[in-house]
Amino acid sequence: MRLLIFALFSLLAFTVNAANLSESDVQRWIDTHPQIQAWLDQHEDLFPEEAEDDFSFNMEQIFAEGIQQLRDAGLYDEFNSQVQNAGFRSVEHWTETTQSITLAYMAVAMEDNPHSRQMVEMQLEEIRTSPHIPADQRDMYEAMLSSSLEMMDMAEQVPTADKRAVRPHMNQLDGLFEMAEDY
């Protein structure tokens, strides 16, 4: 379950969906987050723990695995009811909305901090050239930073309308995403 929870808020790698988000979509997602998160927390022990070395940076894959875990645990229909009660058509619609909001959030944050790409590129270069980092750690850090750069490439593709829908909600989303880092 930790994998699914992490996937909800991870800012590592996403697929670009031309979601055509509206401000009401974003607000509905924010408003229903507490009830959906409570359901996920309540059922966390029914899902397998992910191994530390089993970490994926591909958001689409993470969500697909999370949905499969719901099915395997026999909880897909119950979670589907939760997201439908929250105003989404299905688990898949909720995950697409989650991905789109998260990616648009990142795109806005990148616009507000135009040097973020440079910082990641500099960190990647430092890791690649440092003789003090063990090879296995270097590989892990390199994969994380490379995935971050790929995600930044995807964030640059976010439709202007999605960024416009997310921008008024940045403070609320900041709070939700900061809470997710605690998991």
Report which of 111, 99, 93, 2 is spatially closest to residue 47, judged by C-alpha positions. Answer: 2
Which residues in the chain land under pLDDT 50?
1-18, 55, 183
As a whole number of angstroms, the distance between CA 112 and CA 84 comes to 34
Q: How many other C-beta atoms are found inside a 10 Å radius of the C-beta of residue 182?
A: 5
Report which of 130, 152, 153, 154 is spatially closest to residue 142, judged by C-alpha positions. Answer: 130
Give the model's pLDDT for residue 153: 86
Give the model's pLDDT for residue 92: 93
What are the sequence ranges of the domains in the chain? 2-112+158-180
What's the whole-model pTM score?
0.78
Q: How many other C-beta atoms are found inside a 10 Å radius of the C-beta of residue 52?
A: 7
As a whole number of angstroms, the distance between CA 27 and CA 33 comes to 10
Give the model's pLDDT for residue 10: 43
Give the model's pLDDT for residue 21: 92
Give the model's pLDDT for residue 6: 41
